[in-house]
Structure 1
Amino acid sequence: MEKIGKSRTCSIFDENSDRFNILAYFTIAIQVLKIPEEMISGRQAMLLDGFSSKIKGVKITEFPSILIGQLGKNENFVDAISGSEVMEYCLATILEGQTLLGGRIVILECKNIPHLFDLYEMFGFNLLEKDYADSELVQMFKILSETEIIQSDEEK
């Protein structure tokens, strides 16, 4: 995916070690969040779009998004970095790209595991409400706030 330009994978490594130890990684990509028309209200469409719920009278059901495609820690250094720290690096990288490209929705898919939900909810992600099959990954989303998107010159 990296070679064909569909995603970018970033590594987090231990700068204090003489060896090149990758502690964690994350992959980000551009993705379209598609929600079936019958599963989205006009209010939800407007919330996700940020501007309107319809285009030429047709409800908006597809939203440009930034996908966190993978996020993980190296099992050999599991105590060297926390999941929160990996998310902080990931979101900082997303916000760097967002300043150049735009975008306001960040999405991810994860297993239906409580500690993963807790981690992602701590960073402002919400479960995308829909019917999921038992083994299906669930989708979570975060709408970047105006303060995250727009930075003053002093903050840059």
Structure 2
Amino acid sequence: MAFDVVSLGKLLDAYPQDRVHEQLSSFTSINDDVQHFIRETAIQFQRIGLSRTTLVYTTVKGRMVLAGYFSISSKPLTISKKNWSHLSKSVQKRLMPIGYRTAQDNYEVSSILLGQIGKNFEYADQHIITGEQLLALAYREIKRAWEVVGGTMLYLEAKNEPHLRDFYVANGFSQLLMKKQDGDKKPTIPYVSPNKLHLYVKKLSDI
């Protein structure tokens, strides 16, 4: 199945905002955050430059429909001093060469954030796009962004759900893990972001 990739910015340049918002408001997802973002937040974030959203269309029975979307931004991966101390030594060593200490003694890695990605479940029974296909299209745009803004890591935050963990790990992401206590030798629990979500990372050079 062929896909057309359109930036939300170009759509807003070509059509009135209320018309674009009306189309996005029909997007349906089993993930409340994914649905809320595209319906209520994407246009605002696009306007003020916090993120860039890309819409993916395909043809169903001769009609162009919104199959999915993804949103990316240039945002460093920041790990607090406290959380850094709970990462395993192996994870610290892996991150150390590509990051730096801030004035607040936090640790930052120059990164691109895959803020949102989701299929339109309005057409779920027609199987118009897979998660792997949508992620591949996102990679294409992320590579272009990487060439312009640089960075070393791609990261995303996801809910603590087994099917999400399995999907991202199967597609080359590593879940960031922490030691349960300072004396533990092995990471035993997932790293939880300030948004109460689990963190997944992947080198930009690997996409």
- TM-score using structure 1 length: 0.77
Which residue in the other structure is 2:26 paired with?
A: none
Return the alpha-carbon distance in structure 1 between the equivalents of residues 60 and 200 of structure 2. Answer: 34
Return the alpha-carbon distance in structure 2 between the equivalents of residues 116 and 86 of structure 1. Answer: 14
Which residue in the other structure is 1:9 paired with?
A: 53
Contact 2:98–2:109 (CA under 8 A) maintained in structure 1: no
RMSD over aligned Cα, in angstroms?
3.0
- Alignment size in residue pairs: 145
Which residue in the other structure is 1:39 paired with?
A: 86
User: Superposed, which structure 2 residues align to 1:1-156 within 5 Å?
Assistant: 1-15=45-59, 18-37=62-81, 38-40=85-87, 44-48=91-95, 50-51=97-98, 61-78=107-124, 79-130=127-178, 131-132=191-192, 136-145=196-205, 148=207
Shift of 1:80: 0.7
Return the alpha-carbon distance in structure 2 between the equivalents of residues 41 and 106 of structure 1. Answer: 20
What letter corresponds to residue 119 of structure 1 in structure 2? F
Identity across matched positions, percent? 30
Contact 1:46–1:52 (CA under 8 A) maintained in structure 2: no
Return the alpha-carbon distance in structure 1 between the equivalents of residues 98 and 112 of structure 2. Answer: 18
- TM-score using structure 2 length: 0.60
Contact 2:100–2:109 (CA under 8 A) maintained in structure 1: no
Return the alpha-carbon distance in structure 1 between the equivalents of residues 123 and 75 of structure 2. Answer: 31
Shift of 1:43: 5.7
**Larger helix proportion, structure 1 or 2?**
2
Contact 1:43–1:53 (CA under 8 A) maintained in structure 2: no
Return the alpha-carbon distance in structure 1 between the equivalents of residues 91 and 106 of structure 2. Answer: 10
SS of equivalent to 1:11: strand
